[in-house]
Chains A and B, each alone.
Chain A
Amino acid sequence: MFGSLFKKKDTQKNTVTPSEKGDQAISPTDTAALEKKVASITVQIKQASDDKEKRHLLYNQLGAVQVKLGNDAAAITAYEASIQDKEEFGDAYNALLNLYEAQRKQAAKAKNDDDIQKWVSKTDALLDMSKRVMRSGFGY
């Protein structure tokens, strides 16, 4: 009945999460270019300190670059800053959902209860944000 849904299971399973992307090896040249981009965006963020709208977009860009570099912690910080500037559906929410889950898995493997709670609670906060944004007309 839902053939297309089930047939695509294998390919969907291979969808790369932000964290997994970071694990893929990138060439030193690419790394250098991405690090340069991080520095450039960081400067732009400082310059846009009064413009939350612009700053939140810059944080999203920074988060995406940090994911490519495999810096999950830095990516989380950037995306969280983006959401703090503007709660909306989009890149930050989608990426954080995967990044928190990756961190939660690592904490579970390490049997670190405090970290498990930390990441699950952060996911809970993300769901609360989803409810808030949905009810307020999702940012239109």
Chain B
Amino acid sequence: MVVVNFIIQNILTQAAITIALIAMLGLLLQRKSFGAVLTGTFKTLLGFQVLSAGSAIIVTALTYFGKIFQHGFHLQGVVPSIEAINGQAMNTLGLGNEIALTFLGIFIVNILIARFSPWKYIFLTGQALLWMSTMTVIGGKMAGLSSVWTIVVGSVIGGIFAVAMPAIAQPFVRKITKGDAIALGHFCTIGYMVEAGAAWFFGERGEKKHSIEDIKLPKYMEFLQDTYLSVAVVMVPLFMITAAFAGPKYAGNGTSMNYIMNAFMMGIQFVVGVYVLLAGVRLLLGEIVPAFRGIAMKLVPNAKPALDCPVLFPFSPNAVILGFITTTIGTVIGMFLMPVFGLAVILPGMLTNFFAGGTAGIFGNVVGGRRGAIIGGIIHGLFITLLPALLVTALTSFGFVNASATDSDTIVAMLIYAWILTPILKAV
């Protein structure tokens, strides 16, 4: 009994161990060799610890940024970063165990739906599943559910999203790829539908519809070649400008260093945090995802794989660029617009603008041509700024430091908890 208690209280409460055991289970089910199971399990454990280290770095930089933004502009400036939310939830808030088990639960529910329903989609973007499990766990905890119910409800909601989102996007994907072999597995689909809807309403139709692919765009996106450079290009100047407004008293952070230089180094620290955290995520998912997708594919042989958004880029590259630019314009407008409605200032997130904005551009273009993609893209930018703004108060009161989520579907999943589940539970 003493040994069992020791295991329950000291080992199974460690999220790193839970997630490593999940990886071990996947590897054992695949009948991997002893060596492969051992290294895979260890790598997953290591991945969690690297993720934790990245989260700590990000939190330091975000705390500093929140302070200088408050003093510089007398507003709450929030960085939309699902990585930062995941890192803080996993570590600072101690929700790692629930997130790890919900991640596994979503996978199981996804397989069950695909196995026994006509919707054969298997969601293969591991990172997106991790973000979804993070947001459903936060939602469950905010609704006051116990850990077990948080995991069960999160698995069901996340599993439904994992099938429903590719299914909703599929009519558009068929039109874009001119085939039905693959599906889109990216939890920004509701945003894509908003862009498609706006493009249909405002865009070109019939013979007047001109695709953006008919134009040859100039080559100018080199700065996006490196993920971290693209984060730095926006975040570092943002830290420095905010510091200039806040002044040396707050931006100096008690160091002898010049306060602008200090802000520069803090901006770099944020980029390093994202780098470390994503390296941890890759390590963490590197063993789990291949193990479970192998199992999923065997259990649902006629599955339709739902793949990450770059799968669509080659079919409409100009629309990706247009979507990135127009979504960025929308997020910049949204940044100034949100405080007018009493919401926090949501800073534009360049990574989301590139991947979600770019993919949304493809949807806008296929539905409403050039005009549809342009107007739809700006509306998409506004929409993906509004969603994280709606979450800020709830996230801040729950203990999150100066960050909000991105990825529209994960936010909508959490809003289901906040707007539907919580009132029902309170009424019962």
- Residues on the A chain within 8 Å of B225, using CB: 135-136
* B314 and A94 contacting across the interface, CB-CB below 8 Å: yes
* A113 and B314 contacting across the interface, CB-CB below 8 Å: no
* A131 and B174 contacting across the interface, CB-CB below 8 Å: no
* A135 and B181 contacting across the interface, CB-CB below 8 Å: no
Min Cβ gap A79→B in Å is 13
Contact size class for B?
35 or more
* A135 and B311 contacting across the interface, CB-CB below 8 Å: no
The answer to whether the Cβ of A15 comes within 8 Å of any Cβ in the partner chain is: yes
* B311 and A97 contacting across the interface, CB-CB below 8 Å: yes
Min Cβ gap A140→B in Å is 4
Partner among B298, B305, B358 whose Cβ is within 8 Å of the Cβ of A113? B298
Given contacts A15-B179, A104-B297, A123-B305, contact A113 B30 (CB under 8 A): yes
Contact size class for A?
35 or more
- Residues on the B chain within 8 Å of A140, using CB: 216-219
* A108 and B290 contacting across the interface, CB-CB below 8 Å: no
Given contacts A15-B180, A93-B314, A120-B290, contact A111 B298 (CB under 8 A): yes
* A120 and B293 contacting across the interface, CB-CB below 8 Å: yes
* B171 and A105 contacting across the interface, CB-CB below 8 Å: no
1/0 per residue, CB under 8 A from B, across A79-119: the answer is 00000000001100110011001101101110101001100
- Residues on the B chain within 8 Å of A43, using CB: none
The B300-347 residues at the A interface (CB cut-off 8 A) are: 300-303, 305, 307-308, 310-311, 313-315, 317, 320
Smallest CB gap from B300: residue in A: A108
Smallest CB gap from A92: residue in B: B314
Q: How far is the CA of A6 from the CA of B218 in the complex (A)?
A: 34
Smallest CB gap from B180: residue in A: A13
The answer to whether the Cβ of A8 comes within 8 Å of any Cβ in the partner chain is: yes
The answer to whether the Cβ of B208 comes within 8 Å of any Cβ in the partner chain is: no
- Residues on the A chain within 8 Å of B30, using CB: 113
- Residues on the B chain within 8 Å of A73, using CB: none
1/0 per residue, CB under 8 A from B, across A16-43: the answer is 0100000000000000000000000000
Q: How far is the CA of A111 from the CA of B295 in the complex (A)?
A: 9
1/0 per residue, CB under 8 A from A, across B192-213: the answer is 0000110010000000000000
* B294 and A117 contacting across the interface, CB-CB below 8 Å: yes
The answer to whether the Cβ of B74 comes within 8 Å of any Cβ in the partner chain is: no
| Further 6 A-B residue pairs, CB within 8 A, beyond A12-B180, A120-B297, A134-B310 | A1-B197, A9-B171, A97-B181, A131-B310, A134-B320, A137-B220
A-B contact pairs, 12 of them (CB 8 A): A5-B171, A5-B367, A8-B174, A89-B314, A89-B317, A104-B297, A108-B298, A111-B298, A116-B293, A116-B297, A130-B314, A133-B313
Interface positions of B (Cβ within 8 A of A): 30, 124, 171-172, 174-175, 177-182, 196-197, 200, 216-222, 224-225, 290, 293-294, 297-298, 300-303, 305, 307-308, 310-311, 313-315, 317, 320, 358, 367
